[in-house]
Homo-oligomer: A and B are copies of this chain.
Amino acid sequence: MAAQRNATGIEAAVSLLADRLGPRLATGRSLREQHGHTTTWLENQHPDAVAFAQSAAEVQEIVRICAAHGAPVIPFGTGTSLEGHVNAPLGGISVDVSGMDRVLEIRPEDMDATVEPGVTREALNTELRATGLFFPVDPGANASLGGMASTRASGTTAVRYGTMRDRVLSLKAVLPSGEMMQSAARARKSSAGYDLTGLMVGAEGTLGIITELTLRLAPQPEAVSGAIASFADIATACQTAQEVIQMGLPVARMEFLDEAAVGYVNRSHGIGLPAAALLLLEFHGSPGSLAEQTETFAELARDNGATHVAWSSDPDERSRLWRARHEFYLSALALYPGRVGFSTDVCVPVSQLAACVTAARAKLDDLDLVGTNIGHVGDGNFHTLVFVDPADAAGRARAETYVSWLNGLAISHGGTCTGEHGIGQGKMAYLERELGPGALAMMRAVKQGVDPLNIMNPGKIFAF
């Protein structure tokens, strides 16, 4: 178990890989830094080298060399992770699979597609355009599908289309031994032994490197419409979202933005939304069913005291709003030059949402923090973004206090510290608080069985 940096082994592996890969093994400092963590306040811990793999066979070769020398292997897709997943705290080799970006097969008759792990979700959807199908998981960032699987990503559409857990039908991966593993057949359901697909999805690269994914696609909706509703307070907006779910209204997206978030969107994108808590919805269906859904929602929102309700099936208007929502993090950050963002990711049972978001707002104010709450409220998942000047030690400490308090709040309400970002390095301290020692013992036992040398992405999820 490599709890300490294995300098000798890494050096040997780098040398062998350089011989094998030539210019596709990079050791330049800036490239290595780009392959460490770059997106949030977590420290950048760069690898010793970056191997640009071009095929599953090459990934196998790289892993075998690293295994023989006890060198850590850190899978890398697009680097959009928020929790330090791509960091190399013990050094080692970043295996960049962004060049493995072929869509291998699309099977419209089975509504599935097989892709290499470096294909991004936008690239896949471009390929799918003519088929009448699309890949619905949308975390905002144009992440690689291998990375999205590894963090069990979801995003704005999970309320309707599920998360990566629901959308990966089977996968191939290189195990820490270098052996190739296929997790499942392509059938839509299976009881064939342990659910290795599910085990690899969300394993954050600690059990192997995904080299191929077969994904469940969805039919492109016949029609799309959007709706917004403004509310005097957070609790009513969240309560309305909860009632939408309980009614079984098949919303495709349902996002919450608090008043501060609406202010950022208005300022950075020149949109004139009312300064109030906002629900932003999208409906997918037949034109007839959309009209029915939109009306049902509008009636519910008004019954709950919404101060402003509007809807539109104009694609330009809709995409402007959703672009503002998706670029929210970066555009809000841009309003605070020199500050860095903390992003939380709690997810609570839907019945607990209104209380938790309301308490979160009050706590931010108590701690005198600049922050805002947005969320995928159909799932009970919301993010607080806190903007902190890294030079302000006291502010940073207060932000850390807030994060810890919020994770504790979610856990005490039956929720999780991470709905979709993963544990990575950033949330290791909270996992045991959330699930208790039994779950940690079982995770460590699985890791011990599959990766006894601890070479696959060490220092993530749990101490091992």
Contact = CB atoms under 8 A, between A and B. Distances in A.
Nearest to A430: B192
A356 to B, nearest CB: 11
Most chain B beta-carbon contacts within 10 A, residue among A151, A345, A348, A349: A349
A192 B449 contact: no
Interface string A143-160: 000000001111000100
A61 interface: no
A153 B190 CA distance: 9
Instruction: Give this chain's copy count.
Output: 2
Interface in A377-402: 379-381
A347 interface: yes
A380 B418 contact: no
Contact of A179 (B349, B417, B435, B437): B437
Contacts of A418: 190-192
A446 interface: yes
Interface string A112-144: 100000000000000000000000000000000
Given A187-B414, A190-B347, A175 B438 contact: yes
A44 interface: no
Contacts of A420: 189, 191
A372 interface: no
A370 interface: no
Contacts of A419: 187, 189-191
A345 to B, nearest CB: 8
Contact of A347 (B181, B189, B199, B421): B189
A309 interface: no
A154 B165 CA distance: 18
B109 A439 contact: no
A271 interface: no
Interface residues of A, number: 84
A462 to B, nearest CB: 7
Interface string A190-221: 11111110110111000100000000000100
A193 to B, nearest CB: 5
A380 B187 contact: yes
A273 interface: no
Nearest to A461: B193
A435 B192 contact: yes
Contacts of A166: 166
A80 interface: no
A423 interface: yes
A380 B423 CA distance: 36
Contacts of A188: 347, 349-350, 379-380
Contacts of A416: 184-185, 187, 190-192
Given A191-B202, A349-B188, A445-B450, A109 B181 contact: no
27 contacts: A107-B349, A110-B349, A111-B246, A112-B349, A158-B189, A177-B441, A181-B442, A184-B416, A185-B434, A185-B435, A186-B414, A187-B347, A187-B348, A187-B414, A187-B415, A188-B349, A190-B416, A191-B419, A192-B418, A192-B434, A193-B202, A195-B195, A195-B198, A195-B201, A195-B202, A207-B442, A449-B449
Given A181-B441, A187-B415, 8 more contacts: A107-B351, A109-B350, A111-B245, A112-B349, A182-B435, A183-B435, A185-B415, A188-B349
